[in-house]
Chain A
Amino acid sequence: MEHHTSSYEPKTRRARWWDERLPVARLMHGQFIDFPTPRNLNYLWTFGAILTFVLAAQIATGVVLAMHYQPSGAGAFDSIEHIRRDVNYGWMIRSFHAVGGSMFFLAVYIHLFRALYYGSYKAPREVLWIIGVLIFAVMMATAFIGYALPWGQMSFWAVTVITNLFSALNEVIPGLGTVVVEWLWGGYAVSGTTLNRFYSLHYLLPFVIVGLVILHIWALHVVGQNNPTGLEIKTRSDWVPMYPQAVAKDSVGLFAFLILFAWFVFYLPDYLGHADNYIEANPLVTPPHIVPEWYFLPFYAILRAIPSKLGGVVAMFGSIAILVFVPWLDTSRVRSAKYRPVYRWFFWLLVITCLALGYLGAKPPEGAYVYWARVFTAYYFVHFLVVMPVVGILETPKALPKSITDAVLGGAGAPKTAAAAPERR
Chain B
Amino acid sequence: MAREAEEPDRRDFLVLAGNAFVAVGGAVTLWPFIAQMNPDAGAQAMASIELDLAPVKEGQAITVLWRGKPVFIRNRTKEEIATAQAVALDDLPDDKARNDGLPESDPALDSNRVSQGRENWLVLIGICTHLGCIPKGQALGDARGDYGGWFCPCHGSHYDTSGRIRKGPAPRNLEVPPYEFVSDTKIKIG
Binding site for B on A (CB under 8 A): 157, 160-165, 167, 171, 182-189, 191, 193, 197, 283-286, 288-290, 304, 306-310, 312, 364-366, 370
Q: Which residues 60-104 of B sit at the A interface, judged by CB distance below 8 A?
A: 63, 65, 67-70
Contacts of B69 in A (CB 8 A): 188-189, 283
- Assess A289 versus B153: contact at CB under 8 Å? Given A183-B38, A197-B37, A308-B171: yes
Contact call A160/B133, Cβ cutoff below 8 A = yes
CA separation between A364 and B136, bound complex, in Å?
A: 15
B133 is contacted by which of A161, A197, A312, A370 (Cβ under 8 Å)?
Answer: A161
Q: For chains A and B in complex, what number of residue pairs have CB atoms within 8 angstroms?
A: 88
| Residue from A186, A191, A306, A370 whose CB has the most chain B CB atoms within 10 Å | A186
B11-32 CB mask vs A (1 if < 8 Å, else 0) is 0000000000000000000000
Query: In the complex, what's the smallest C-beta–C-beta distance from B95 to chain A, in angstroms?
Result: 15
CA separation between A162 and B65, bound complex, in Å?
A: 22
CA separation between A197 and B39, bound complex, in Å?
A: 12
Contact call A309/B171, Cβ cutoff below 8 A = yes
Contacts of A184 in B (CB 8 A): 37
Contacts of A182 in B (CB 8 A): 38-39
- Assess A365 versus B131: contact at CB under 8 Å? Given A171-B171, A189-B67, A309-B170: no
CA separation between A290 and B155, bound complex, in Å?
A: 9
Query: In the complex, what's the smallest C-beta–C-beta distance from B128 to chain A, in angstroms?
Result: 8
Tell whether B43 is near chain A: CB-to-CB under 8 Å. yes
Chain B binding surface SS class: loop
Contact call A286/B153, Cβ cutoff below 8 A = yes
A365 is contacted by which of B39, B40, B68, B156 (Cβ under 8 Å)?
Answer: B156
| Residue from A197, A307, A310 whose CB has the most chain B CB atoms within 10 Å | A307
Contact call A183/B153, Cβ cutoff below 8 A = no
CA separation between A306 and B168, bound complex, in Å?
A: 10
| Residue from A183, A189, A364 whose CB has the most chain B CB atoms within 10 Å | A189
| Residue from B43, B46, B154, B156 whose CB has the most chain A CB atoms within 10 Å | B154
B154 is contacted by which of A167, A197, A290 (Cβ under 8 Å)?
Answer: A290
- Assess A189 versus B156: contact at CB under 8 Å? Given A157-B133, A184-B37, A284-B63: no
Contacts of A189 in B (CB 8 A): 67-69, 127
- Assess A187 versus B68: contact at CB under 8 Å? Given A161-B132, A182-B39, A308-B169: yes
Query: In the complex, what's the smallest C-beta–C-beta distance from A393 to chain B, in angstroms?
Result: 37
Query: In the complex, what's the smallest C-beta–C-beta distance from A133 to chain B, in angstroms?
Result: 25
Contact call B153/A309, Cβ cutoff below 8 A = no
CA separation between A189 and B67, bound complex, in Å?
A: 8
CA separation between A320 and B168, bound complex, in Å?
A: 25
Q: Which residues 127-146 of B sit at the A interface, judged by CB distance below 8 A?
A: 127, 130-135
Contact call A183/B37, Cβ cutoff below 8 A = yes
CA separation between A364 and B143, bound complex, in Å?
A: 15
Contact call A186/B170, Cβ cutoff below 8 A = no
- Assess A160 versus B38: contact at CB under 8 Å? Given A188-B43, A189-B67, A286-B153: no
Closest to B126 in A: A284
Contact call B133/A290, Cβ cutoff below 8 A = yes
Query: In the complex, what's the smallest C-beta–C-beta distance from B180 to chain A, in angstroms?
Result: 20
Name 19 extra pairs, CB < 8 A, besides A157-B133, A186-B40, A188-B68.
Answer: A160-B131, A160-B132, A161-B131, A187-B43, A188-B39, A188-B69, A189-B68, A191-B68, A193-B40, A283-B69, A284-B70, A285-B134, A286-B153, A286-B154, A309-B131, A309-B169, A310-B171, A364-B153, A365-B154
- Assess A307 versus B68: contact at CB under 8 Å? Given A187-B43, A188-B39: no
CA separation between A106 and B39, bound complex, in Å?
A: 37
A283 is contacted by which of B39, B68, B171 (Cβ under 8 Å)?
Answer: B68
Contacts of A191 in B (CB 8 A): 43, 68
Contact call B131/A187, Cβ cutoff below 8 A = no
24 pairs across A/B with beta carbons < 8 Å? A161-B132, A164-B130, A164-B131, A171-B171, A182-B39, A183-B34, A186-B38, A187-B68, A188-B68, A189-B67, A193-B40, A193-B43, A197-B37, A283-B65, A284-B65, A284-B134, A286-B153, A288-B153, A289-B153, A290-B153, A307-B169, A309-B169, A309-B170, A312-B169
Query: In the complex, what's the smallest C-beta–C-beta distance from B72 to chain A, in angstroms?
Result: 11
